[in-house]
């Protein structure tokens, strides 16, 4: 049952006077429930409660945190069809996608549960004392990762589950030992409340401290601003637009105590089609990319919005076939009237440049909130000189840039902003001859793909989801995979600390049996 209230820890609260509703883009009407935007008092209470919880939660064993995370996954599953139906009614995304995303969310939670249960992630180092060293004795020093403090997570519009309330940021922060305050996305406040109820149930069931999790509603930016400025908030996770992410980053940087903001923002995910590949597989590539551009109605941060090739008949053929294929695909519903509004506006803005040609656009009759997928093309020199054309058009839109030659292709890549991904489509051995292009791409992206598509972000330890600004605000961390836990921790040293007062991970006898660097040798032995 959705109540529209905020979760301040385990307490449900509706103290604010501002009310809003979510919207069903498929039926094009508002959903029934009314949500209460969090008041300043509620925000302060949630943070104070998280801060208090941090006092104990930071020292909970991996075993206990693991129970909590697994319990969250169980409770999310137990929400059953209620969750799936709410998800669909608040996003316009199909049931299959909802179920897939729920699976991904549970997988992420269980992966972090395994990680903290195993315990090695704390990156333990032990350098033992050398009392006889000259000229001064060497102390005993031991180091491990400890949590930063309360983390604020902003729900993402395009992933109501996997990058929202109990998504990757929340799972990683809870695993690290940080309490989490979610600022739910206004487009799916109901989904967020349901998931929050699962988290709270799990917290109660596994004996977590009051305040380890809160969920706050808001339709505007005020709640988020207050949270990021709160002195007891120590880090922020965000997935969304460059404008939104940058605004949070700027707020956090201006604090008396600046805090890290991990914002995963926009990307056009350049794909380079080398000549040989286009010659050999133009037809197949057109089909594959028509699918990738329109997947999830183009609402993925890894959507291929920029296709680069060298001018010629093979590229012409690819453009023609891509255009034909893309209009055959049944157009999809976008997440919200605001999202499709922005899509249409940004498409129009790009096409206002005469040099950008619309090659094809779905032009049968369509319903409300349905996005017409589009293929556009432009000459390399025009693209090179017009940074406005480098901007993302969030939706099922792509731009094929026809480069004069290899040098122009490389020059264009060098001029791109930071990207989440870059893809190289190559035939035979031709990649070797394009080393400069590959190097240029590597310096602009966080992940490079060979003969594939950028959509589809595998949840695994090798994944980097992030990249040079503005793909993310801090390219030194990934937002996906177990290493994303590193965003919420800091290293901490104990010098000459008595064994019995050390945390388990650093005790001589290695009671957790974890791998540690002992005097620079990796070992699970006791010291």
**Residues engaged in binding a second copy (CB under 8 A):** 55, 125-127, 136, 138-139, 141-143, 146, 148-149, 249-250, 253-254, 257-258, 260, 417-418, 431-432, 438-439, 442-443, 446-452, 456, 458, 460-464, 466, 468-470, 473-478, 483, 486-487, 489-498, 501, 515, 517, 520, 522
Residue pair 152/237 in contact by the 8 Å Cβ criterion: yes
Q: Report the distance separating Cα 389 and Cα 464, nearest Å.
A: 26
| Active-site residue, 264 included | yes
Work out how close the CB of 204 gets to a second copy at its nearest, in angstroms, rounded to a whole number.
25
Q: What is residue 333's DSSP assignment? A: B
Written as six digits, the tokens of 455 are: 């959509």
CA 357 to chain centre: 32
Measured from the CB atom, the residue of 15 and 452 that comes closer to a second copy is 452
Q: Report the distance separating Cα 77 and Cα 166, nearest Å.
A: 12
Measured from the CB atom, the residue of 20 and 159 that comes closer to a second copy is 159
Work out how close the CB of 194 gets to a second copy at its nearest, in angstroms, rounded to a whole number.
25
For residue 235, give the 3-state DSSP assignment. Answer: strand
Work out how close the CB of 141 gets to a second copy at its nearest, in angstroms, rounded to a whole number.
4
Measured from the CB atom, the residue of 236 and 356 that comes closer to a second copy is 236
Measured from the CB atom, the residue of 84 and 479 that comes closer to a second copy is 479
Work out how close the CB of 464 gets to a second copy at its nearest, in angstroms, rounded to a whole number.
4
Q: Report the distance separating Cα 374 and Cα 269, nearest Å.
A: 16
Residue pair 425/272 in contact by the 8 Å Cβ criterion: yes
Beta strands 151-154 and 235-239: pairing type?
A: parallel
Measured from the CB atom, the residue of 161 and 518 that comes closer to a second copy is 518
Measured from the CB atom, the residue of 260 and 380 that comes closer to a second copy is 260
Q: Annotated catalytic residue: which of 75, 193, 264, 325? A: 264
Work out how close the CB of 7 gets to a second copy at its nearest, in angstroms, rounded to a whole number.
25
Measured from the CB atom, the residue of 317 and 492 that comes closer to a second copy is 492
| Active-site residue, 403 included | no
Q: Annotated catalytic residue: which of 88, 178, 301, 403? A: 301
Name beta bridge partners: 213: 180
Work out how close the CB of 183 gets to a second copy at its nearest, in angstroms, rounded to a whole number.
22
Measured from the CB atom, the residue of 5 and 234 that comes closer to a second copy is 234
Question: Cα dihedral sign for 185, 195, 178, 226?
Answer: positive
**DSSP annotation string for 396-439:** SEEEEEEESSHHHHHHHHHHSPPEEEEEEE--TTGGGGGHHHHH
Beta strands 516-518 and 235-239: pairing type?
A: unpaired
Q: Which of 395, 492, 409 is nearest to 176 (CA)?
A: 492
Q: Report the distance separating Cα 125 and Cα 35, nearest Å.
A: 48
Q: Which of 192, 191, 163 is nearest to 88 (CA)?
A: 191
Work out how close the CB of 220 gets to a second copy at its nearest, in angstroms, rounded to a whole number.
24
Residue pair 173/153 in contact by the 8 Å Cβ criterion: yes
Question: Cα dihedral sign for 91, 447, 228, 249?
Answer: negative
Residue pair 35/22 in contact by the 8 Å Cβ criterion: yes
Q: Which of 287, 424, 317, 426 is nearest to 377 (CA)?
A: 317
Residue 22, C-beta contacts closer than 8 angstroms, at least 6 positions apart: 30, 31, 33, 35, 89, 90, 186, 187, 188, 189, 190
Work out how close the CB of 312 gets to a second copy at its nearest, in angstroms, rounded to a whole number.
24
Measured from the CB atom, the residue of 80 and 135 that comes closer to a second copy is 135
Written as six digits, the tokens of 480 are: 């996906």
Active-site residues: which are they? 264, 301
């Amino acid at each position: 049952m959705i109540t529209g209230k905020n979760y301040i820890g385990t307490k449900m609260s509706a103290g604010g006077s501002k009310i809003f509703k979510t919207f069903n883009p498929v039926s094009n009407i508002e959903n029934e429930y009314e949500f209460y935007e969090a008041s300043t008092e509620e925000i302060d209470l949630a943070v104070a409660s998280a801060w208090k919880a941090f006092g104990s939660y930071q020292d909970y064993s991996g075993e206990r945190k693991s129970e909590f995370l697994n319990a969250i996954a169980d409770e999310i599953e137990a929400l059953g069809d209620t969750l799936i139906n709410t998800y669909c009614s608040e996003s316009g995304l199909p049931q299959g996608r909802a179920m897939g995303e729920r699976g991904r969310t549970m997988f992420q939670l269980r992966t972090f549960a395994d990680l903290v249960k195993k315990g090695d992630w704390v990156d333990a180092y032990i350098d033992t004392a050398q009392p006889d060293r000259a000229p001064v004795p060497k102390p005993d020093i031991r180091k491990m990762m400890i949590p930063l403090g309360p983390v604020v997570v902003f729900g993402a519009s395009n992933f109501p589950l996997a990058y929202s309330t109990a998504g990757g940021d929340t799972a990683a922060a809870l695993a690290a030992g940080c309490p989490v305050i979610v600022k739910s996305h206004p487009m799916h406040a109901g989904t967020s409340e349901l998931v929050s109820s699962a988290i709270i149930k799990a917290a109660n069931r596994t004996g977590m401290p009051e305040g380890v999790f809160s969920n706050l509603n808001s339709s505007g930016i005020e709640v988020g601003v207050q949270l990021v400025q709160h002195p007891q908030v120590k880090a922020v996770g965000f997935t969304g637009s460059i404008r939104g992410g940058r605004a949070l980053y700027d707020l956090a940087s201006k604090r008396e105590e600046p805090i890290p903001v991990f914002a995963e923002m926009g990307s056009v995910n350049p794909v380079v089609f080398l000549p040989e590949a286009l010659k050999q597989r133009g037809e197949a590539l057109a089909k594959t990319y028509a699918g990738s551009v329109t997947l999830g109605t183009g609402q993925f941060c890894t959507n291929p919005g920029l296709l680069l090739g060298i001018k010629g008949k093979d590229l012409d053929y690819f453009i023609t076939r891509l255009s034909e294929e893309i209009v055959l695909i049944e157009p999809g519903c976008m997440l919200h009237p605001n999202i499709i509004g922005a899509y249409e506006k940004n498409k129009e803005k790009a096409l206002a440049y005469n040099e950008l040609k619309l090659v094809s656009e779905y032009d049968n009759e369509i319903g409300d909130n349905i996005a017409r997928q589009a293929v556009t093309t432009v000459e390399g020199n025009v693209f090179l000189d017009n940074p406005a054309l480098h901007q993302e058009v969030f939706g099922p839109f792509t731009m094929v840039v026809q480069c004069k030659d290899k040098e122009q292709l490389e020059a264009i890549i060098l001029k791109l902003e930071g990207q989440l991904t870059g893809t190289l489509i190559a035939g035979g051995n031709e990649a070797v001859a394009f080393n400069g292009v590959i190097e240029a791409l590597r310096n602009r992206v966080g992940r490079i793909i060979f003969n594939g598509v950028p959509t589809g972000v595998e949840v695994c330890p090798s994944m980097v989801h992030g990249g040079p600004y503005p793909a993310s605000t801090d390219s030194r961390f990934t937002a996906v995979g177990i290493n994303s836990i590193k965003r919420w921790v800091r290293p901490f040293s104990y010098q000459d600390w008595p064994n019995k007062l050390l945390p388990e991970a650093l005790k001589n006898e290695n009671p957790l049996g974890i791998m540690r660097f002992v005097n620079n040798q990796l070992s699970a032995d006791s010291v």
